[in-house]
Structure 1
Amino acid sequence: MYALEKPQNFHRGTSFSLITRNGDDRSETSDYTSEDEGTEDYRRGGYHAVRIGDTFKHGRYVVQSKLGWGHFSTVWLAWDTQKSIYVALKVQKSAQHYTEAAMDEITILKQIAEGDPEDKKCVVKLLDHFKHSGPNGQHVCMVFEYLGDNLLTLIKYSDYRGIPLHMVKEICFHILVGLDYLHRQLSIIHTDLKPENILLLSMIDPSKDPRRTGAPLILPSSKSKIVSESEVSKDAKASCSDLTKNQKKKIRKKAKRAARKCIGKEEADQDIEVSSPEASHRDDKSNGEPSEEKSRNSVGENSNNDEANDASEGSRGHKRGSRSARQKLLAEVELKCKLVDFGNACWTYKQFTSDIQTRQYRCPEVILGSKYSTSADMWSLACICFELATGDVLFDPHSGDNYDRDEVALGGRYSRDFFNRFGDLRHIRRLRFWPLNKVLKEKYEFREQDATEMADFLVQILDFVPEKRMTAAQCLNHPWISVGPRQLAPSMSENGGSDKKQETDEREAMEVRVGNMAIDGAKNGKDSKSMASPLKQ
């Protein structure tokens, strides 16, 4: 059986570690945790400057608010004036390699949609795609069905204490349906499966869902064009050909300031028509101009998307209210979900890169630079399942005194860097292994039966040998999942984070006691620092 490294002193909230090699992460030092994408990439080849009230595809899609951003694109809530529905509008950067990546994504999304006409496969639907020209170039745009919050937001609603196991099972059921469809029928590997890329069909808090609240729509009612900074700069440049270099530099700065003021004034003067969703179809003809039109907000505004690093279409970053209110919302949440963000997806027979997956969900073969296939997604699924149930990431890469967070605890193409000729780790010593079922029972206070059953499910996916991992189809037939989502019922007592018998003050008191034990241990010269903790057979 697999085992995790057991830290000498532990408490809830301290995650295990699997040292990994490179790529994206969600650490506090990562630039991906930024609330917005900044302004640096709003340039030729970069982002398109989308503003509230802008229209796309000859006025069909009207931007309502910002949903998120990624290093390839920004994502916006938009109103489809033809179908009178909300949609998620993804606007790609305009450089050639971003365009090529977008076209690959569209090819995959079309294949997904064509194979699922009844919309039962738990994968996001591409509704439309087109190209949009702007000051920074030509941008590929994709229109998706509008979904709800992502699973990371769900985890946050639980205060990182985990959600009840019957909810975990139901969510995993839907994820597995999606993966089974992708893997078996389409030979598609998602390659970046994580909580941010799995969206509920609706918002956790109904009051935040524009589809339920009847929130007023923003529809442009005039055809005046906002003056862009580039246009002002161009006019200034033409009028100063006889000036010195310094004079030209000063004038360019003034032109940029003037452009910002001009844009601000134009925005203040814009007539933004507010309409209800029910009445919007009557205003279709007023939206005939292509985008660069009405706006209220600046390029940098967004909705503070929770971990918005991958342009997750459904996350909002809204305040979640009191704990009792959050618990009530969690108890009533609709758990159907879909896989989203296929910007890094590939086929088993056509792969674009060896560097895939976000750190915390990255499988050993990818860490090693070895071949990978659909089983890579299954490893990520197991990590997500653990995180949903406990509130903690299963693996949290970090640095040590004589190794960095990019080292791996397995052999392979990079093994000479990490292992000596005897097969021993060069930089990591004194690993203390801790079976997964005991981790769930001792650290997270699961009932013994729940811990045993969940561990039995997870360890068959967390196999170092990719070919030995359970497939999505096999997981759907595993006893831990196979009862089906609508028949699942909560245990009398589930994990420590969800057990109603355990009050907050008791938990906090326990953590204080454990913390005091750790301090006492440190004073006695014991090593209380959790080391990197790989899995091991």
Structure 2
Amino acid sequence: MSCSSSSGSEEDDEGFDSYRKGGYHAVRIGDQFAGGRYIAQRKLGWGQFSTVWLAYDTSTSAYVALKIQKSAAQFVQAALHEIDVLASISDGVDVNSKCVVQLIDHFKHAGPNGQHLCMVIEFLGDSLLRLIKYNRYKGLPLNKVREICHCILIGLDYLHREHGIIHTDLKPENVLLISTIDPAKDPVKSEVSPILERPEGSINGGVTSLIEKKLKRRARRAVAKISGRTASIGGTEDQKSVRNLDGIDVRCKVVDFGNACWADKQFAEEIQTRQYRAPEVILQAGYSFSVDMWSFACIAFELATGDMLFTPKVGQGFSEDEDHLALMMELLGKMPRKVATAGAKSKDFFDRHGDLKRIRRLKFWPLSKLLVDRYKFSQSDAHEFSEFLLPLLDFVPEKRPTAQQCLQHPWLRGTESNEKNESSVENVGVGMSNLKIK
């Protein structure tokens, strides 16, 4: 789950039964943390390991995201690892320009369910997944895609080159806009006064919020039935149209370092969320920074089209992994035999010639053609975008360009303002204010 997101988890709620010894800490609005420095304002979301709250920092008069980990030993261990990574990347010079989330503070909090490690992280806006959904899965304008890609690449370059860190779980949920899509949800722009003490009569916040959510869901369903009827009278043209993105600031930061690792200190063979997983991970052929570059290319495609690049499924007689490899080859051509047979799991999928064992007939549909035929890109846009993406999707990991090299790519530097920013490698970490692309 995006640790500092205002959009929170995509699921409805974390369930009552997780509020027990070793589990979540029940938070009430107005609760104080770290000796009264942070005051809980409202819940932002939750993940398998933690709940995340908007909090007011009384010492800096700023809003922050407060991530409260479950208290069982394995969750404490995971939090210590994440703090370790975040502390390392927050240590850089002018880290704010590096497009990665910043750790502000961390502390322990004792509660009825145990001792919880807490992380205080800068408050950011909605995830790229929310932005894709907001735009009704239609694909964002290419100038917006460029701007987002530029930010992600600055973040990756900082992680890879300056810290030797592989993110290992790059996906739209783990990149957050620096502000909310809806200004009303931004605690500063909405000008709501911070809650400084617990409201009268408030009870267990964790449980209350679950009850409130169920009531709200019922109300929403009732409203949806009514509005569904009125929409059919009033016509649906407006519903189909893509929302206007002109006013949305798409500058963003890479977040969620719970699964990140140092390149020379890897601890997991199976990394990455399925749709963004690189072929060498599926084949267990070892990995490095280039796995993040593969995931990045998948995100760029999704931003531009509204669809995931690869959505593998289990089929008759073949696994999700094998379907995934087949989808890759239909888009990118046959995997070189040397790569196909190099992994610990290669024999599960490939014969000695480097052909898939169970999926024999592949339907080739090259990227540029796919963009024109299915997504109605102009020939020139499709050609330029493909030239940017295809090297990142090379089956040979060592051949994929680095984040630093991508920042010099003509597709990304397609505007005047960017050419100034990227004329030298030294400018890779440009200030956030310079990231706007006209």
Give TM-score scaled by structure 2 length: 0.80
Query: For residues 211 and 42 of structure 2, what CA distance do their matches in structure 1 show?
Result: 9
2:232 aligned residue: none
Query: For residues 119 and 416 of structure 2, what CA distance do their matches in structure 1 show?
Result: 31
Shift, 1:440, TM fit: 0.5
2:369 aligned residue: 438
2:66 aligned residue: 89
Could you say what secondary structure the match of 1:148 adopts? coil
Select between 444-453 and 474-483 the one with higher mean Cα deviation: 474-483
Pick aligned residue for 2:201 from 249, 269, 277:
269
Could you say what secondary structure the match of 2:295 adopts? helix
Against the structure 1 CA distance between its residues 101 and 296, is the aligned structure 2 distance closer, same or farther, given a 3 Å change threshold?
A: closer
Shift, 1:204, TM fit: 1.1
2:396 aligned residue: 465
Pick aligned residue for 1:417 from 333, 348, 353:
348
Pick aligned residue for 1:73 from 30, 50, 58:
50
Larger-gyration structure (1/2): 1
Pick aligned residue for 2:243 from 327, 347, 362:
327
Shift, 1:302, TM fit: 8.9
- 1:1-400 equivalence runs, <5 A: 34-117=11-94, 119-220=96-197, 269-270=201-202, 295=205, 298=208, 300=210, 323=239, 327-328=243-244, 330-400=245-315
Q: CA RMSD in A?
A: 2.5
2:357 aligned residue: 426
Could you say what secondary structure the match of 2:118 adopts? strand
Q: Which has the higher contact order (CA 8 A, sep 6+)?
A: 1
Against the structure 1 CA distance between its residues 355 and 426, is the aligned structure 2 distance closer, same or farther, given a 3 Å change threshold?
A: same
Q: Which amino acid aligns with 1:457?
A: F
Against the structure 1 CA distance between its residues 423 and 324, is the aligned structure 2 distance closer, same or farther, given a 3 Å change threshold?
A: closer
Query: For residues 486 and 398 of structure 1, what CA distance do their matches in structure 2 show?
Result: 42
Shift, 1:297, TM fit: 6.2
Against the structure 1 CA distance between its residues 99 and 463, is the aligned structure 2 distance closer, same or farther, given a 3 Å change threshold?
A: same
Matched residue count = 374
Against the structure 1 CA distance between its residues 426 and 83, is the aligned structure 2 distance closer, same or farther, given a 3 Å change threshold?
A: same
1:504 aligned residue: none
Deviations 1:244-291 (A, max 9, x none): xxxxxxxxxxxxxxxxxxxxxxxx734xxxxxxxxxxxxxxxxxxxxx
Could you say what secondary structure the match of 1:444 adopts? coil
Against the structure 1 CA distance between its residues 334 and 303, is the aligned structure 2 distance closer, same or farther, given a 3 Å change threshold?
A: farther
Shift, 1:300, TM fit: 3.4
Against the structure 1 CA distance between its residues 484 and 136, is the aligned structure 2 distance closer, same or farther, given a 3 Å change threshold?
A: farther
Aligned residues of 2:38 and 2:58 also touching (Cα < 8 A) = yes
Shift, 1:208, TM fit: 2.2
Query: For residues 194 and 113 of structure 1, what CA distance do their matches in structure 2 show?
Result: 21
Could you say what secondary structure the match of 1:439 adopts? helix
Could you say what secondary structure the match of 1:49 adopts? coil
Query: For residues 485 and 197 of structure 1, what CA distance do their matches in structure 2 show?
Result: 29
Query: For residues 360 and 317 of structure 2, what CA distance do their matches in structure 1 show?
Result: 11
Query: For residues 345 and 91 of structure 2, what CA distance do their matches in structure 1 show?
Result: 41
Deviations 1:94-151 (A, max 9, x none): 1212112211211111111111335110111101100111122111100011111110
1:283 aligned residue: none
Aligned residues of 2:138 and 2:242 also touching (Cα < 8 A) = no
Give TM-score scaled by structure 1 length: 0.66
Aligned residues of 1:37 and 1:69 also touching (Cα < 8 A) = yes
Query: For residues 211 and 389 of structure 1, what CA distance do their matches in structure 2 show?
Result: 30
Query: For residues 55 and 61 of structure 1, what CA distance do their matches in structure 2 show?
Result: 6
Aligned residues of 2:55 and 2:64 also touching (Cα < 8 A) = yes
Aligned residues of 1:49 and 1:299 also touching (Cα < 8 A) = no
Shift, 1:422, TM fit: 4.0
Could you say what secondary structure the match of 1:120 adopts? helix
Q: Which amino acid aligns with 1:425?
A: L
Deviations 1:338-379 (A, max 9, x none): 011111111011112112111111111111122111111000
Deviations 1:483-512 (A, max 9, x none): 469459xxxxxxxxxxxxxxxxxxxxxxxx
Shift, 1:34, TM fit: 2.7
- Runs of 5+ in structure 2 lacking a partner? 2-8, 215-237, 326-339, 420-438
The structure in which a higher percent of residues are helix is 2
Q: Which amino acid aligns with 1:445?
A: K
Shift, 1:220, TM fit: 1.8
After the TM superposition, list the runs of 4 or more consecutive aligned residues in structure 1 that deviate by more than 6 angstroms: 301-304
Q: Percent identity?
A: 56
Q: Which amino acid aligns with 2:348?
A: D
